[in-house]
Amino acid sequence: MSQRAIKIGLTSVVLVAAFAGLLYSTLSEGTEYYKHVDEVMKDPAAWYGKKLQLHGFVVDDSILRRRDSLDYKFEVQNNGAVVPVRYTGVVPDTFKSGSEVVLKGRLGPDGFTVDPNGVMAKCPSKYEPK
């Protein structure tokens, strides 16, 4: 093999390895799973600490808010599976008992902790035909 071919081959290997490393580090930080409550609660320990978008419905009459604060505790359910949730921040106007929500955060042994500005609530009545 000529010396020129070895240099080209070695340069190609280094470039591919650098690109693969950059791609891996970028994707591993930004990966966020979109899961329903019942999917996560089948094996909650497998999801501990991972970034999640958790989809479900607020359990009726489960919303508790500490007086003079923005601390919320509530439960979210889907297909009979329930997870307790903690959130500190401003909630959307459409957030209420029974509303469909998508929460961004992380699951832990004591429940789901929502990131700042991580509550998205849907209001089905806005989208129903008149």
Q: Please check the confidence at residue 29 and state whether its pLDDT lies above 70.
A: no
Q: What pTM value is reported for the model?
A: 0.73
The proportion of the chain whose per-residue pLDDT surpasses 90, expressed as a percent, equals 49
Q: Please check the confidence at residue 47 and state whether its pLDDT lies above 70.
A: yes
d(CA 99, CA 58): 6
Q: Please check the confidence at residue 119 and state whether its pLDDT lies above 60.
A: yes
- Architecture of the domain defined by 32-127: Beta Barrel (2.40)
Q: Please check the confidence at residue 120 and state whether its pLDDT lies above 80.
A: yes
d(CA 4, CA 6): 5
Structure-token pair, residue 127: 């989208």
d(CA 28, CA 49): 13
Average pLDDT value for residue range 16-36: 82
Q: Please check the confidence at residue 124 and state whether its pLDDT lies above 70.
A: no
Question: Domain extents for the chain?
Answer: 1-31, 32-127
| Cα distances (angstroms) measured from residue 75 to each of 67, 107, 128 | 19, 13, 26
d(CA 11, CA 128): 59
Q: How many CB atoms lie within 10 A of CB 81?
A: 16
